[in-house]
Chains A and B, each alone.
Chain A
Amino acid sequence: MRKLGVLIGINLRALLSALRLGSSKKSKATGIGALLLLGVLAVYIAGVYSFTFALQLSSIGLLEYLIPMMAIMGCLMSVVMTVQAASGFIFSGRDTDLMLSLPVSAFSVMLSRITALYIENLAFIGLFMLTSGVAGAINGLGGLGYYLSLVVGTLMLTFLTTMLTMVISFVAAFITSRFPHHSVFSTILYFAFFLLVMIGAFQVSNVGNLLMTNQTGFDRLLNGALLPFGLLKNGLEGNLLSLVLLAIVSVVPFLLLVWIFSSRYKQVLSALASRIVRNNYRLGALSARSQFSALFTREIKRYFGSSIYLFNTGFGAVLLIAGAIYGAFMHSKAQTYIQLMGGMEVVIPIAAIVLGFIVATIDTTCISISMEGKTFWIIKEAPVQPRAYFGAKVLLNLLVSWPATVLSCLILGIAYRAAPLTVAAMTAALLSLGLLIALAGLCINLFFPKMDAPNDTMVVKQSASAFIGVFGGWVSLGLACVGYIPAGKVMSFELYALICAVVFLIGSAALWLWLKKGGIRRLSSI
C-alpha cells in the first residue's frame, strides 16, 4: 500500500510538472497561473450554463433535472480535456520502462497512473459540480440529500469519466499504431470524436425544449444508457440507496478495467511501441534545398508527425471551413434569426468576432520551440540563421490559419451576399490577427519554453506557453471588440476592421523587430 502511495505521488508530480510547478518562483507562478486558468474555465462554463438552465427549468417545474444535466456536461468536458493527455501519460510515458522495472506489480503501476488521472479529472468535475450546485441551491434546491449526493456524485462520476477517457485514448492509440501513417489517422479519429462532442454541445442549448416535449424519453435515457446520472438524480431527491448503487456501478467497472489493462499492460505497451525498421532502402538521387526550405519542410513534417500537435492547433482551421460551409447551407434558415438580431449590420461584426475567436486558437508557434524538446541540440549546433528559424515557424502557422481564414470569409460572404468591401475588410482584419498571433506565440514560447517534457502531450496540453498563447490571442480580440462599442457609433464596420488590421500589423512588425534582437538572445539562452 505504501508503494502504491509513492507511485501515485510520483505520477501526480509528473502530471503537475507539465504545468511547470517547479522550484523557481517563475515556474511556480506560471504553473499556478495555468491551474487557475483551468479552474476559472470550469467555473465560468458551469456558471453560465447552470444559471441559464436553472432559470429555464424552474420556469417549467423541472429544476430537479439541473444537476444530472450539468453532471453529463461536466463529465463530457472533462473527457474532452484529458483524453489526449491520458494517451500520452498512460500509454507513452518515458518513465514507463523505469516504472515496470521496479519491484511493484503492473497493477500498481497502472492503478497509480489512473489515480493521478482521476485526481486531475476530479479537480475539473469538482469545480464544475460545485458551481452547478450553487446555481441549484440559489434557485431552490437543497437539503442534506442534495449536498450529500453532490459530493458522492462528483466522486463517483469521476471514476466513470476516467474510465471513459482511458478507453477512448487506448482505442485511439492501439488502432493508430497499426497504421503506417498513424499520426494522421490518430488525428482523424480525434477530429471525429471532437466533432461528435461539439454536435452534442450544440444540442445542449435545446435541452430545455427537449425536456418539455419529451420528458419521458429523457427519463428513459436516465434509467438506461445514462443510468449513473439517473441514480444521481434519485440521490438528489433523497434516495440514499441510489447513491450506494451509483458507487457500485462506478467503482466496480473502474477496478475491473484497471485489472484488465494492468494484466495486459506490458503487451499493450509493446504493441504500441513496436515500429518496423525495413532494410530494403537503396540510395537514389537526392534533392537539395535552401536552408529556409529545409527548416520549413522540417516544421511541416513535425506538424504532421505529431497527432496531438496537429489536432490541437489545426482544429480551428477545420472548424473555420466546416462552420462556413454549414453556415452557407443554413443560409435560408438563418434569415429569420438575422432579421431578429437586427439585420446584416449587426450579424457581420458578430461573425467577425466568432471567426476571430477561432483564428486565435490556431497558434502553432506558441509551442513550436518547446516541441523541439531533447532534439533542440540539432538546431543549436547547426549554422542556422535565427531569422530563418523563426520565419519557418511563423510560416507554418500562417499556412494553417490563412487559407482557412480566406476560405471561410469568402464562403460566408458569398452565401450571405455581403458587400465585397465588407468581406475584404473582415478578411484583412482576420489575416492580420493570424499574423499577430503567430508572432506573439513565438515570443511567448521564447519566454516560457518547456524543453524537458516527457512527451508531446504535455507540451501541447499543459505547458504555460500553450495557455498564454491562446488566451493572449483572445485578449487581443477582446480588446478589439471592446473598442468597437464606442467606435461602431461613429464609423462603419468596414473602416473599423481596416483600422484593426493596421493595428495588428503594427503589433506584428514590433514583435518581428523584437524577435530579430531580443528573440535571438532568448533563443541562445535556452
Chain B
Amino acid sequence: MLTISHFSKTYSGGKRAVDDLSLTVEAGEMMGFIGHNGAGKTTTLRCVAGILDFTEGEITIDGHSIRTEPVAAKSVTAFLPDNPDLYDFLKGIDYLSFIADIYGIDRVTRKERIGRYGDAFGLTTALGSAIGGYSHGMKQKLALISAFMRAPKLLVLDEPFVGLDPEAAYAVKGFLRELCDKGGAVLFSTHVLEVAEKLCDRIAIIRQGRLIECGNTEAVVGNSNLESVFLELERGSAAEKPEEAEKHA
C-alpha cells in the first residue's frame, strides 16, 4: 500500500532530516514508527502525506506517486498531525462536511460515519459548536473522526494518542485494527512503546534520519520488550557511528 524507497529530505538550511530511508507498509498491516525527538519521524510522515516537498527518492501510495500524482495518492490517504490546528471559524459539523465534500463522500454515508465515530469519541453533541471553543483533546477527536470517516486505504498518524482520554484512546486502537482488518494500512509514530508493541504488526525504528531496524514486531522484540530493544539499538547505533552522530548534531 505504501512504498518508500531511498527517500531523503534536506531542509533549506542544509539540515538532512531523513537519509536514504526505504520501507513498505502492506495492505492489512499496521506499522509503528519509533524514534527520538528530531529523528525524522514527523518529516517522513509529512512527506508521505504530501504536506512537505522532497527531491530525493520516491513515495508511492496504492501505486500512485505522491510527487507526480498527488491528487490520486491523497484520495486514498488520511493524515493526522501531532497537533491538529483546525479551522476555528467553522463548527465541528461544518468541518466534517467540508472534509466529506473534498473526499466526495455521499450524504448518507457521511451521516452514518459521523454518527458512528462521533458517538464513539463522545463528540456528536458538541459538533454544533465552533471549533474555536474546543479543547485540545476535542480537536484531536474531531481530526480523528475526519480521518476515519474517509475510510482511507492508508492512514498516517503522528502521535495519535497524545491528548486523548483513555476511553478515546481505546476506541482509536479498535478503529485502527478494524481498518487493517478491512484491508487498509496504518503507519503511525508514537513514543508510547507499549502501545506500539501491543498494537503493531511491524515496527520501524529511525535514528538521526536513518532506518536502523524494521521488521515484524515479534522478530524485533524477541524475548525482550520493545523499550529495551529500542534503547539498546539507540545506544548501539550511537556507538557504531560517533562521527556520523556528530555530523548530524
Contacts and interface: CB of A to CB of B under 8 A. Distances in A.
B93 A375 contact: no
B191 interface: no
B249 to A, nearest CB: 21
Interface string A162-191: 000000000000000000000100000000
Nearest to A24: B12
A287 interface: yes
A289 B183 CA distance: 28
A3 interface: no
Interface string B16-45: 000000000000000000000000000000
Given A283-B124, A298-B87, A288 B51 contact: no
B125 A381 contact: no
B71 A306 contact: no
Interface stretch (B109-117, B163-171, B206-214): B109-117
A306 B87 CA distance: 11
A264 interface: no
A380 B49 contact: yes
B148 interface: no
Interface stretch (B78-86, B197-205, B215-223, B230-238): B78-86
Interface string A342-386: 000000000000000000000000000000011101101111110
Contact of B103 (A287, A373, A383): A383
Given A375-B87, A381-B50, A275 B133 contact: yes
A290 interface: yes
A380 B50 contact: yes
Given A294-B101, A380-B51, A286 B107 contact: yes
B74 A278 contact: no
Interface string B54-89: 000000000000000011111101110100111111
A282 B93 CA distance: 10
A276 B103 contact: no
B26 to A, nearest CB: 22
B125 A291 contact: no
Contact of A277 (B86, B90, B134): B134
B100 interface: yes
Interface in A263-286: 275-283, 285-286
A277 B129 contact: yes
B120 interface: no
Given A276-B133, A381-B50, A291 B106 contact: no
Contacts of A382: 74, 99, 102-103
A384 B71 contact: yes
Given A283-B114, A381-B50, A383-B71, A288 B105 contact: yes
Contacts of A385: 71
Nearest to B77: A381
A301 interface: yes
Nearest to B119: A283
A381 B51 contact: yes
B174 interface: no
A334 to B, nearest CB: 42
A291 B104 contact: yes
B75 A383 contact: yes
B89 to A, nearest CB: 3
A96 interface: no
Contacts of B132: 275
Given A275-B130, A280-B125, A283-B124, A381 B103 contact: no
B128 A280 contact: yes
B94 interface: yes
B102 A294 contact: yes
A524 interface: yes
Nearest to A280: B125
A291 B93 contact: no
Contacts of B125: 279-282
Given A276-B129, A374-B85, A378-B86, A383 B102 contact: yes
B114 to A, nearest CB: 6
Interface residues of B, number: 52
Nearest to A525: B53
Contacts of B72: 383
Interface residues of A, number: 39
A293 B101 CA distance: 9
B127 A524 contact: no
Contacts of A281: 92-93, 124-129
Interface string A11-47: 0000000000000000000000000000000000000
B11 interface: no
A290 B98 CA distance: 10
A302 B98 CA distance: 13
Given A293-B101, A381-B50, A283 B79 contact: no
A183 B130 CA distance: 13
A143 interface: no
A305 interface: yes
Contacts of A183: 89
A301 B72 CA distance: 27
Nearest to A281: B128
B118 interface: yes
Contacts of B105: 288
Interface in A286-334: 286-291, 293-295, 297-298, 301-302, 305-306
A283 B129 CA distance: 13
Contacts of A305: 88-90
Contacts of B97: 286-288, 294
B129 A301 contact: no
B101 A291 contact: yes
Contacts of A276: 129, 133
A483 B81 CA distance: 52
Contacts of B77: 381
A525 B12 CA distance: 11
A286 B110 contact: yes
A380 B73 CA distance: 12
Interface string A238-280: 0000000000000000000000000000000000000111111
Nearest to A298: B98
Contacts of A377: 46, 49, 51, 79, 81, 84-85
A278 B102 contact: no
Given A373-B85, A383-B103, A283 B118 contact: yes
Given A279-B125, A286-B110, A381-B78, 13 more contacts: A276-B129, A281-B125, A281-B127, A282-B125, A289-B101, A291-B102, A375-B86, A378-B87, A380-B49, A381-B50, A382-B99, A384-B102, A524-B53
Interface of A: 183, 275-283, 285-291, 293-295, 297-298, 301-302, 305-306, 373-375, 377-378, 380-385, 524-525
20 contacts: A278-B126, A281-B93, A281-B124, A286-B107, A286-B111, A288-B106, A294-B97, A295-B102, A301-B94, A302-B87, A375-B85, A375-B87, A380-B49, A382-B99, A383-B73, A383-B75, A383-B102, A384-B71, A385-B71, A524-B53
Going nearest first, the 8 A-B pairs with the smallest beta carbon separation are A305-B89, A275-B133, A281-B128, A294-B101, A383-B74, A374-B85, A383-B75, A380-B51
